[in-house]
Amino acid sequence: QDGEMTYFIKRFDRVGHKGKRHVEDFAQLGGRNRETKYRSSMEQVAKLIETFCTFPAVEKVKLLRLTLFSFLVGNEDMHLKNFSIIRNQDIISLTPAYDLLNTTIILPQPEEELALPLNARKNKLRREDFLEYFARDRLGLTERIIDKITTDFANIRPQWEALLDVSFLSDKMKEKYLQVVNERFARIFQ
């Protein structure tokens, strides 16, 4: 009514008006709290999936997609409280992704590329870190699955620029955002 933009989300942890689904974030699962949510690693996230998820192989594919997406868009704040599991009847799986935003465009000199280290690093991450070390060696994904994921990202890349172009970001922020996406895509997919 007042002309302001509003963003609505549908909560994945609710059923109807009063029903709740059990959700735990990875800080809780790993014995961490708000103050220690950055004291972990992507390898530990994978171990928590192995420990708690009903079908860990399926969830590891989701984890790789989420990790790549976060890196590519400049989401440098994917700490343990931004990964969660949900119980739906007898199945425990990752929740839908949330808190996915480019944190680099507001910082003059971003210090990290990931909130949690991958292959003992938060910076200067390379294709090998994501696709060989993490996807193949740590998550145990097959080359066929890894190729499918990289093909999917390459195929949707043009849509990112189109969506960014019609976003409500300022031209300066759009330029910074696109610069991050282009540089990181080049590192992973070329």
* Domain residue limits, the chain: 14-189
pLDDT value of position 61 = 99
Length of the chain counted residue by residue = 190
Name 48's Cβ contacts closer than 8 Å, sequence gap at least 6.
26, 29, 30, 83
Beta strands in 39-139 (DSSP E): 84-88, 91-94
CATH number of 14-189: 1.10.1070.20
Question: 0.85 exceeded by the pTM?
Answer: yes
| Six token digits for residue 8 | 């609505």
Per-block average pLDDT, block size 10, for the chain (190 residues)? 79 82 93 92 98 98 98 95 94 94 86 95 96 98 98 94 93 94 92
